[in-house]
C-alpha cells in the first residue's frame, strides 16, 4: 500500500522492466517452441517417434516404450530376430533419453564393418551426430582422453578390446548409455572349471562398469550351451549369474533382463504378418567316383594325423592340429577346388618349413618352434576362435592354421607327411581338371531349372550364394559368369574386400540390373541389408546354426515383400551330410529347436575333437 507520504521516495522507471512485451514476435515464438519441445515428453510419451525420420512398427514401439524406458537404470538384452530393426529401436531409445535429459553421453560399440552404418543411420533417421572414434582423436585431444571430450561416439569393438591403452582411457570415463551391437561376440566359456574370458568379454565387463544404462543387442544370444549363455548374462548382473551353471540346479529367469521376439510373432498395425513366408529346401547330391575316392583318401589322412595329434603332450598344440585337420576336411566338402588349393598351400608351407628347420636346427625337435602362439593368442580354446574373431580375421586365421599346423615332431616325420600331401594334391588336381563336380552340377541345375530363379522375362533373379571358403568363392564366380554369359553379373564380398568396396558391391547388387548374383563368405553375414533379393543358397553349411540365421537375415528382414527361398547344398553320403540331413529331418518343423540342438551337437563334436566320428 502506498500513501501520500511515500511520493517523495518514488521515481518513474524508464528502462529495465522485466515484462516489457516489446521483443520481436518471431523470436518469442521460437523461444516458446523450444521450451515446449523441451517439455514435450511430459505430454507426448512417444516424442522421439514424432521427431524422427522413421515409421516404427508395433514391436519396435513396445520394445522402447514398454520394455526399455521404464527400466531405471536399464541393463538389458534386445534379442529380436535378425532383420527386425533393432537399430531403429536403439535410435528411438537414445533420442528419447536425450529429449528427457536422462542421457547426455552415449557410446555405441559395434563391429568394424558396421560403425559407419551406425553413424549414418543415427544422423539420417534421428538427426544425431555421432563421432567415429579413431586413433587420431587421442593425439588431438586437449585433455588426452577423447572418451571424456566427445559426448556422442561410435567405436569399433575389436579396436577397443585389443588396445590396453584405450581401455585405460575408457575406464576413466563415465557414460549415461552404452549400446553394444552384435553383443554375442562378447563371449566367454568354461574350459573345465576355469572361465575362459575373451578380450571382448573383458571389454564388456569394463563397459558395464562405466555406464548407467547398458544395452546389449544381438539376434543370437544363445549358442545352445546354457553355461555360456549365463556367462553372457553376467555382463548385466554379475551377482545373479555368478558361478558355474549346473544342469537342473541352476536355472535363472531372464525375462526382466531380455526381450526375444521371433519373426513369426511380429505383426503390422493392421494385424497382418510383418515378414513374408520363408521356405527352406535341402538340395542333395551324390559324389562322383573320383570325388568319393578323394574324399576317402583325405579322410584317411585326417584320421591318421588326428591319431598322431592325440599322442602330443602339448595340449594347446594338440588342439591347434585338430582344428587344422577338421577345417581341412570341411574344405573337402566345399569344393574340389577348395581342397586342392588347401592341400597345395599346406604342402608348400610344410616344404618351406623343412628347408628352414634343416638350416636352423639340423634335426632338432620341431615341437619347440610351432606352438599355438605362432598363430596368434586367440583363445585358450582354439575351437571358440570363430566366435572370438571377426569373420574377416577368422578367414585369415583359419587359412594360416590349415596351411601350417602339423603333428610332426621331427623333420623326418614332416617329410613323410609332405609325401602323403603331394599324393593327395595330385589326386585333387586330377579331380579338378576332370570337370566332375557334382555339387556344382546340382547348383547349375538349380539356377537353370528352378522356376523361382527366373523373373517374368526369363532373367536370373537377384540371388545370394554363401560359402565358407574363398577358394570356392573364386571358383564359383568363374562358373556362374560362364553360365550367365556376363562378366558383370557376379560380385563378391569376402574378408579381403575393404569396407568401402563392400559398400560399392552392395549398391551394385541393389541397383544395377546387370548384377544378378552376390557371392559371399560370412564377412557379409552381419549388418548387410539386401532385402531387394529373396533367393539364397548355402553352398556350404556352417557348423554354428546361429550363422545360418544371420545369413538368412540378410534377405528376410523388414522391407521384404516376397516369399524368401533358401536352398542348402548337402552331400548326403559324407559325414557332414549325414549330420545335417539327420538334423534337418528331426527338426525341420521348428527352426529354433533345430538351432539349439545343432549347436549343442557341433559343440560336442568340437569339444571332443571328434571330426573323424562326426
Both 160 and 136 in a single domain? yes
Check whether residue 312 and residue 381 sit in a common domain: yes
Q: Could you tell me if 218 and 330 lie in one domain?
A: no
For residue 203, the model assigns a pLDDT of: 97
For 200-254, write each residue's pLDDT tens digit: 999 999 999 999 999 999 998 987 788 889 899 999 998 888 777 665 555 677 8
The reply to whether 73 and 188 lie within a common domain is yes
Q: What is the per-residue pLDDT across 258-293, written as a single tens digit (0 to 9) for each?
A: 999 999 899 999 999 999 999 999 898 999 999 999
- Final residue of a structural domain among 391, 407, 434: 434
Of all residues in the chain, the percent with pLDDT exceeding 90 is 51
Cα distance between residue 400 and residue 8, in whole Å: 98
Cα distances (Å, whole numbers) of residue 326 to 79, 321, 509, 570: 31, 9, 34, 18
Residue recorded with cell 557376379: 490
What pLDDT digit, counting tens, does each position of 148-175 carry? 999 999 999 999 999 999 999 999 999 9
Tell me the β-bridge partners of 197.
188
In whole angstroms, what is the distance from residue 495 CA to residue 502 CA? 10
**How far apart, in whole angstroms, are the C-alpha atoms of residue 196 and residue 593?**
27
Q: What is the pLDDT of residue 194?
A: 84
Which of 425 and 371 is assigned the larger pLDDT? Answer: 425
Rounded-to-integer distance, Cα 402 and Cα 398, Å? 6
CB-based burial label for 46 (10 Å; 0-12, 13-18, 19+): middle
Query: Which of 347, 47, 67 has the alpha carbon at shortest distance from 215?
Result: 67
Q: What is the DSSP annotation of 523-564?
A: GGSSS---TT--EEEESS--SSHHHHHHHHTTTSSTT--SPE
Place of cell 549363455: 229
| 19 in a structural domain | no
Residue 4, judged by CB atoms within 10 A of its CB (0-12, 13-18, 19+), counts as exposed
In DSSP terms, 107 is beta-bridged to: 153, 178
Three-state secondary structure call for residue 51: coil
**pLDDT per residue over 437-492, tens digit each?**
999 999 999 999 999 999 888 889 999 999 999 999 999 999 999 999 999 999 99
> Does 540 fall in a domain?
yes
Domain assignment of residue 612, yes or no: no
Going from the C-alpha of 580 to that of each of 295, 351, 552, 573, 587, the distances in angstroms are: 18, 36, 17, 11, 10
For the stretch 536-592, pLDDT in tens is 999 998 877 778 888 999 999 999 999 999 999 988 777 777 767 666 665 444 444
183 domain residue, yes or no: yes
Nearest to 591 by CA among 15, 174, 81, 244: 81
| 566 and 469 within one domain | yes
Indicate the residue among 265, 299, 331 that finishes a domain.
265
Residue 273 included in any domain: no
pLDDT at 129: 97
Cell of residue 183, nine digits: 553383443
Q: Does a structural domain hold residue 17? A: no
Does residue 146 contact residue 98 with C-beta atoms inside 8 Å? no
CB atoms under 10 Å from CB of 238, counted, come to 12
**Does the pLDDT at position 47 exceed 80?**
yes
Q: Distance between CA atoms of 99 and 95, rounded to whole angstroms? A: 6
Contact 466, 430 (CB under 8 A): no
pLDDT computed for residue 109 by the predictor: 98
pLDDT at 363 over 50: no
Confidence label for 13 from pLDDT (cuts 50, 70 and 90): confident
| 311 and 217 in a common domain | no
The whole-number pLDDT of residue 305 equals: 82
Secondary structure of residue 367 in the 3-state scheme: helix
What is the rounded CA–CA span in Å between residue 142 and residue 214? 28
> Considering its fold, how many domains does the chain have in total?
3
Shared domain for 255 and 363, answered yes or no, is: no
Residues 309 and 367 both lie in one domain: yes
Integer Cα distance of 576 and 218 in angstroms: 28
pLDDT tens for each residue of 178-200: 999 999 999 888 877 788 899 99
Average of per-residue pLDDT across 82-99: 94
Mean pLDDT of 594-601: 41
Give the three-class secondary structure for 285: strand
In the DSSP assignment, the letter for residue 466 is: E
Identify the pLDDT of residue 226.
84
pLDDT at 443: 96
Domain annotation covers residue 15: no
CATH number for the domain harbouring residue 183: 3.40.50.10810
Q: Order the strands of the 106-110 sheet from edge to edge.
A: 131-132, 152-156, 106-110, 175-181, 211-217, 75-78, 258-259
The predicted structure's pLDDT at residue 458: 87
Could you give the angle at the alpha carbon of 463 between the alpha carbons of 557 and 220, nearest 5°?
35
Are 129 and 258 in the same domain?
Answer: yes
Cell of 315: 595340449
Cross-strand bridge partners of residue 216:
77, 180
Mean pLDDT computed over 371-388 = 52
Task: Let me know whether 544 and 530 are in one domain.
Answer: yes
Among 554, 580, 578, which residue's Cα sits nearest to residue 568? 580
Quote the domain boundaries for residue 364.
289-434
Choosing from 434, 460, 475, the residue where a domain stops is 434
* Averaged pLDDT, 321-336: 83
Assess whether 110 and 131 both reside in one domain: yes
pLDDT at residue number 123: 97
Q: Whole-angstrom Cα distance, residue 527 to residue 231? A: 25
Which of the four pLDDT bands, split at 50, 70 and 90, describes residue 517? very high
Range in 37-41, 100-104, 325-329, 343-347 the model is least confident about: 37-41
Per the structure block, which three cell numbers stand in for 480? 556362374
d(CA 130, CA 90): 14
Q: What is the CATH number of the domain that holds 548?
A: 3.40.50.300
| Residues 343 and 238 reside in one and the same domain | no
For the cut 80, the answer to whether the pLDDT of residue 612 exceeds it is no
> What are the backbone angles phi and psi of residue 390, rounded to the nearest 5°?
-70, 160
Residue 8 falls inside a structural domain = no
Q: What is the pLDDT of residue 401?
A: 72
Amino acid at each position: 500500500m502506498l500513501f501520500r507520504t511515500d511520493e517523495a521516495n518514488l521515481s518513474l522507471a524508464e528502462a529495465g522492466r522485466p515484462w516489457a512485451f516489446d521483443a520481436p514476435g518471431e523470436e518469442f515464438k521460437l523461444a516458446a517452441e523450444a521450451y515446449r519441445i523441451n517439455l514435450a515428453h511430459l505430454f507426448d510419451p512417444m516424442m522421439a517417434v514424432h521427431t524422427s525420420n522413421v515409421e516404427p512398427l508395433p514391436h519396435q514401439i513396445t520394445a522402447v516404450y514398454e520394455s526399455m524406458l521404464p527400466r531405471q537404470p536399464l541393463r538389458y538384452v534386445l534379442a529380436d530376430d535378425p532383420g527386425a530393426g533393432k537399430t531403429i529401436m536403439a535410435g528411438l531409445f537414445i533420442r528419447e533419453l536425450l529429449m528427457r535429459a536422462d542421457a547426455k553421453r552415449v557410446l555405441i560399440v559395434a563391429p568394424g564393418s558396421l560403425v559407419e552404418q551406425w553413424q549414418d543411420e543415427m544422423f539420417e533417421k534421428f538427426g544425431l551426430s555421432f563421432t567415429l572414434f579413431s586413433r587420431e582423436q587421442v593425439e588431438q585431444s586437449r585433455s588426452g582422453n577423447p572418451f571424456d571430450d566427445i559426448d556422442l561416439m561410435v567405436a569399433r569393438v575389436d579396436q577397443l578390446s585389443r588396445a590396453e591403452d584405450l581401455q585405460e582411457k575408457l575406464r576413466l570415463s563415465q557414460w549415461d548409455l552404452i549400446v553394444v551391437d552384435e553383443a554375442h561376440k562378447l563371449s566367454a566359456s568354461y574350459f573345465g572349471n576355469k572361465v575362459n574370458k575373451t578380450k571382448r568379454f573383458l571389454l564388456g565387463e569394463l563397459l558395464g562398469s562405466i555406464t548407467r544404462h547398458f544395452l546389449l543387442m544381438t539376434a543370437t544370444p544363445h549358442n545352445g550351451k546354457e553355461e555360456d549363455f549365463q556367462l553372457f548374462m553376467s555382463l548385466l548382473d554379475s551377482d545373479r549369474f555368478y558361478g558355474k551353471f549346473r544342469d537342473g540346479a541352476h536355472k535363472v529367469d531372464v525375462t526382466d533382463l531380455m526381450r526375444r521376439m521371433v519373426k513369426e510373432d511380429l505383426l503390422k498395425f493392421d494385424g497382418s504378418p510383418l515378414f513374408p513366408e520363408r521356405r527352406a529346401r535341402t538340395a542333395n547330391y551324390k559324389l562322383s567316383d573320383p570325388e568319393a575316392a578323394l574324399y576317402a583318401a583325405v579322410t584317411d589322412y585326417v584320421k591318421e594325423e588326428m591319431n598322431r595329434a592325440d599322442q602330443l603332450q602339448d595340449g594347446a598344440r594338440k588342439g591347434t592340429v585338430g582344428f587344422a585337420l577338421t577345417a581341412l576336411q570341411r574344405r573337402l566338402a566345399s569344393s574340389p577346388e577348395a581342397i586342392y588349393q588347401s592341400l597345395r598351400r599346406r604342402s608348400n608351407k610344410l616344404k618351406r618349413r623343412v628347408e628352414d628347420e634343416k638350416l636352423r636346427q639340423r634335426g632338432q625337435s620341431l615341437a619347440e618352434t610351432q606352438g599355438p602362439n605362432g598363430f596368434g593368442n586367440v583363445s585358450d580354446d582354439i575351437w571358440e576362435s570363430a566366435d572370438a574373431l571377426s569373420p574377416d580375421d577368422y578367414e585369415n586365421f583359419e587359412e594360416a592354421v590349415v596351411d601350417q599346423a602339423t603333428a610332426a615332431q621331427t623333420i623326418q616325420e614332416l617329410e613323410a607327411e609332405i609325401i602323403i600331401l603331394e599324393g593327395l594334391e595330385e589326386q585333387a588336381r586330377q579331380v579338378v581338371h576332370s570337370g566332375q563336380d557334382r555339387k556344382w552340377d546340382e547348383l547349375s541345375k538349380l539356377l537353370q531349372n528352378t522356376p523361382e530363379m527366373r523373373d517374368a522375362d526369363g532373367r536370373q533373379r537377384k540371388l545370394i550364394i554363401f560359402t565358407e571358403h574363398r577358394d570356392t568363392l573364386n571358383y564359383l564366380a568363374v562358373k556362374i559368369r560362364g553360365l550367365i554369359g556376363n562378366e558383370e553379373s557376379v560380385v563378391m564380398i569376402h574378408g579381403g574386400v575393404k569396407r568401402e568396396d563392400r559398400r560399392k558391391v552392395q549398391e551394385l547388387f541393389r541397383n544395377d540390373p546387370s548384377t544378378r548374383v552376390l557371392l559371399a563368405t560370412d564377412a557379409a553375414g552381419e549388418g548387410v541389408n539386401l532385402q531387394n533379393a529373396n533367393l539364397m543358397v548355402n553352398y556350404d553349411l556352417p557348423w554354428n546354426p546361429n550363422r545360418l540365421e544371420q545369413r538368412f537375415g540378410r534377405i528376410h528382414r523388414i522391407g521384404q515383400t516376397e516369399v524368401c527361398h533358401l536352398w542348402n547344398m548337402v552331400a548326403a553320403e559324407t559325414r557332414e551330410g549325414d549330420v545335417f540331413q539327420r538334423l534337418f529331418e528331426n527338426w525341420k518343423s521348428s527352426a529354433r529347436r533345430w538351432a539349439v540342438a545343432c549347436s549343442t551337437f557341433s559343440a560336442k563334436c568340437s569339444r571332443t575333437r571328434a571330426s573323424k566320428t562326426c
